[in-house]
Structure 1
C-alpha cells in the first residue's frame, strides 16, 4: 500500500475526529476517549491507513509545549513561589510512594529489577494535559485549587527531568551527576536571562506594535519555541522552557490576548497527541500485558486520589479540595510514555515493560477522564451543572 501523505493523514485524523467526537457527545462520552480510540482504529495495529505515526507524535509534543506556555501566561510569579512551597512536600512524599508502588507491581509480575524501577518512575507522574485541560479556566487562573494543581504538576516535571537524565546515562551503567547538577544550576540562569529579554526587548516591542495582531502572534510564538529549545540545550525540558517563557510574559498587559490567540493552535496539536497515543499502541502485545496493566491501572486509579487526599489534608487543605485534586491527578503522565520510550531505546527495559506502561497510561487516561468529566466541574462536562469554561 502506498505511504499516506501528511495531508491525507491530517484529513483522516481531523475528519475522523469530527465524526467520532460527534458520536461521543451524543453518547455523553469525554472527547479524549474519542481521539485515543480513533488512533487505535486508524493506526498500524488497526486498519493501518495512517502510517506516519512517529512524525505525528513528534508534532503533537508541540501541543504540550503550548499548554505549558499558556499555563505560564496565566500565573503570576509571586503566586508560583507561594504554591511551590506547599507542593514540594506533597510532591516528594507522593513520588516516593508511587515509585515504590510501581516497583512492587513490576516485581509481582516477574519483571527485572531495572524494569520494575522504570515502571515505578512511570507511576510517579500525573498528566499535565488531562489535569490542566479538564480544569475550568476560572479555577485555573483565580482559585486555590488551580494553584495547587499547577504547583504539583510543575514539581513532578522537575522530578521527571531528573528521571529522564538518569535513563539517558543508563547505557553506561552510571548516573551522570555532574550533568544533572549543571542542568539544574542552569535553571535560575535561564529564568534571569528570560526576564531580562522580556523586560528590555519584548515588552518595548509589543508595546510599540501591539496594534499589529499578526506581529504579536509571531513574537509570542517565536518566544515560546525559542525558550523551549534553549531549555532543551541546557539539559532541561522543552516544557520547562515554555513555562518560563509564559510566566516571564505574565505581567504584560497583552498576555491575555496572546493566550486567546494561541489556544486554537494548542488544541490542534493536542488532538494529534491523543491520536498518536492510540496509534502507537501495538494491539498484539495485549494478551501478554493485559493482567499487569489492569492491576497497575487499578492501583493508580485507587491509590493516587487517596494519597493526595491525605497528604493535602495534612497540609490543612479542606477534604473536598483534597479529593478534587486527588481525582484530577489520578492517572499517569505523558512523561511516563516518554520514560517508556527512552528506557526501551536504551535497552534498559523490554517490549513487555514498555507496553505495560503504555497500556497503563491509556487506561488511566480514559478512566480518569471519565471520573473527572462526570463528577467534577470541567470545560467539557456533559452535565450542565458541572460545565465550567
Structure 2
C-alpha cells in the first residue's frame, strides 16, 4: 500500500458562520441541559430533549440539526442559530503503507493539530492531541520543538474523535469513503490514547471533560479502560486524574536515573523519578486488572543497556505495570538514533523475566511522520518553506 495524501473531505468547521456559534460537541450533560434552558425549553422537557440531542450527537453522529427529526422544528431552528456541530477542518489526510492515517486539522481560530488513527485486525486506536504545540521540551520528541500555542477546548478534543468517526465510517449505517486498512469490525475506533501533541495534565479540566463525554455509555461509549492518558510526570495532578477521570494511565518514563531523565524529560527537574513513582503507587484503582503503562523509548547508547533494564525492574517494584518499549522514531535534526534490534530484545528479555509484560511497540506510520514522538503541526514548516520560495 503506497503512501497517499488524500484530498480533504468537506467539513463544517469554518462554514456557515459557525465560528460565531457555540460548539455543542464536548459539553457535559449538565452544560448541555443548561443550554436548552437558555432556549426556553420547559424544565419538564429538559431530560427528554437532552436524551434526544445526546443520541443524535454521539450515537448517530449527526452534523446538521435539520436531521434531528424527533425534535420540534422551531427548537431545531433555534439550535442551528445559536450552536454548531462543526468538526475541525481537515487540512491534509495521509495514509501510510501500513494503513495508519494522519490528519492535520485546522481549528476555528486557524491553529492546527495532528491526530493519528492506527488500525489493527481486531481494533483501532485513535491518538489525539490536547494542546497546540507543547509546553515541555522532551529532547527525543519532535512535538517538543514546537512551542506551546494554547490548550485545546473540550469541544476540540472530542471533535477529533467525531471527525475520525466521520472519516472512518464509524457511525451506524455509515461507510468510509476510503476503506483501505480500516478493520472489518463493528467499531472502527475501540481505543483512544491521549498521546498526541501536548501534555494532557497541563490542560486538566478540558481533557477530563472530554474523556467523560467519550466514556458516556449512552453516547460514544468508549470504556474508561480503553482510554489512556499519557503524562510526562505532572505529579500533583496524577491522583486527581484517577479520582475525577478514572481512565488508564501511562507514564512517559524513558530513563531510570534522574541525571539522564533531566535531559530527556526536563519536567523531571521539578518532579524527580521517586516522586513520580510514589504518585503512581498511590494511583486510585491501581490493581493487576488496571495496570499503569510505562513508556520507554529505546535510544542507542543512551538508555538501552542491560544495567538500565535491571534498574528499570527495580524501580517499578510493587507497581502493577506494563512496560512499552518504543523504538525511537527519527525526525529531522533528531539528536538520537534508535537502539539496535538485538539490544532491544536483550532489554525486553530482562524485563519479561522479571514478570512484566514488555511488548516492543511496532513503529507505525513512520513514512508519514505519524509514529510516536513525530507529531508536529506540519503546516508550520510548509508555510516557512513557501515564504522562502516566494
TM-score normalized by structure 2?
A: 0.24
TM-score normalized by structure 1?
A: 0.24
In our comparison, the structure showing a higher alpha carbon Rg is 2
Task: Name whichever structure is richer in strand by fraction.
Answer: 2
Task: Name whichever structure is richer in helix by fraction.
Answer: 1
Relative contact order higher in (CA < 8 Å, ≥ 6 apart) = 1
